[in-house]
Structure 1
Amino acid sequence: MSDDESCELLGFDHVLLPVGDLDEAVGFYGRAGFPVGFRLDEAGIARLVVGGETPGLLLRHEEGTGRRPPARHPVRTWLEVPDARVAAAALEDAGIGLLDGPFPCATGWTVEFADPWGNVVGLTDYTKRPQLGRRP
């Protein structure tokens, strides 16, 4: 990036996850504990709320996006939670299979799951280093 003000990074807008069926995706992420901030069916999008922040996960229906397992080296979206081990139990109780974890990481614990379209989401905590998290 240059010093040009037009290239200044101001923050995240959304993390976009392509999905093959918006209704199914909203239901899947609802079971995983993600509330819907807004839904625009005519545009094929729904924003999932992530904490008190304006950016969120944006589900976007894309034709031809079929069900698939996660890629061998997928892009991962990790979100902070108070306790990833509790989140893992809640995901399993909701019938959402875990890809990995909970496993220890540098800040605490992480658990990962994938949606039916192969998008990988991680839930991570800062239980080992609370001073680095949102709730020190």
Structure 2
Amino acid sequence: MPGFGRSPPYADVMSDDESYELLGFDNVLLPVGDLGEAVGFYERAGFTTGFRLDEAGIALLKVGGETPGLLLRQEDEFGHRPPPWPSPRVWVEVPDARAAAEALTAAGITLLDEPSPVATGWAVEIADPWGNVLGFTDYSKRPELGRRP
């Protein structure tokens, strides 16, 4: 990994006026302490498991019909912890964030706060047992910006 003040490894093949193109997300990796517990938590939160490779310590959770997903990666010494503040957050779009909050609560998942209005609609957040924060947001105020079901 390059250190401060050092050029990135590709610097000698790219001129200052060249760049690379970001094509989209591959996957979002989330560290977890126990793969089985994590898969159970996320399935209760509404995610579907795309695949699970226990020998590699990974499981892919699907997010809608998109190819990228949430990749859970087991870290053996990673115990339960509250979410650090500030913490990176991964938000996914849902048709109705307030209905998602009700479903999450019914599944025994604690909300970090009650659903709140945002510029595009409503949002609610949860944290997994390892402090990874996930948000569920809708586009009820700006449906033209949201995905079409």
Equivalence for 2:18: 3
Three-state SS of the structure 2 residue aligned to 1:100 is coil
Equivalence for 1:44: 57
**Map of 1:78-93 to 2, 5 A cutoff?**
78-93=91-106
**Structure 1, gaps ≥5 residues long:** none
% same residue: 72
Quick one: which amino acid aligns to residue 64 of structure 1? E
Aligned-residue RMSD, C-alpha: 1.4
Equivalence for 1:102: 115
Question: 1:8: Cα distance to partner?
Answer: 1.8
Question: 1:101: Cα distance to partner?
Answer: 2.5
Quick one: which amino acid aligns to residue 3 of structure 1? E
Question: Aligned equivalents of 1:46 and 1:81: distance in 2?
Answer: 22
**Map of 1:21-100 to 2, 5 A cutoff?**
21-100=34-113
Question: 1:9: Cα distance to partner?
Answer: 1.1
Cα 1:2–1:121 shift into 2, 3 Å: farther
**Map of 1:6-17 to 2, 5 A cutoff?**
7-17=20-30
Question: Aligned equivalents of 1:68 and 1:119: distance in 2?
Answer: 9
Question: 1:52: Cα distance to partner?
Answer: 0.4
Cα 1:57–1:3 shift into 2, 3 Å: same
Q: Residue deviations 1:29-68, cap 9 Å, x none? A: 0111101001111110000000000000010001211100
Question: 1:134: Cα distance to partner?
Answer: 0.7
The ranges of structure 1 where at least 4 consecutive aligned residues each deviate by more than 6 angstroms after the TM superposition are none
TM (norm. structure 1) is 0.95
Quick one: which amino acid aligns to residue 92 of structure 2? L
Question: 1:3: Cα distance to partner?
Answer: 2.8
**Structure 2, gaps ≥5 residues long:** 1-15
Question: Aligned equivalents of 2:17 and 2:31: distance in 1?
Answer: 30
Quick one: which amino acid aligns to residue 148 of structure 2? R
Question: 1:75: Cα distance to partner?
Answer: 0.2
- When you count strand as a share of all residues, which structure comes out higher? 1
TM (norm. structure 2) is 0.86
Question: Aligned equivalents of 1:2 and 1:109: distance in 2?
Answer: 41
Question: 1:89: Cα distance to partner?
Answer: 0.1
Question: Aligned equivalents of 1:60 and 1:72: distance in 2?
Answer: 22
- When you count helix as a share of all residues, which structure comes out higher? 1
Three-state SS of the structure 2 residue aligned to 1:78 is strand
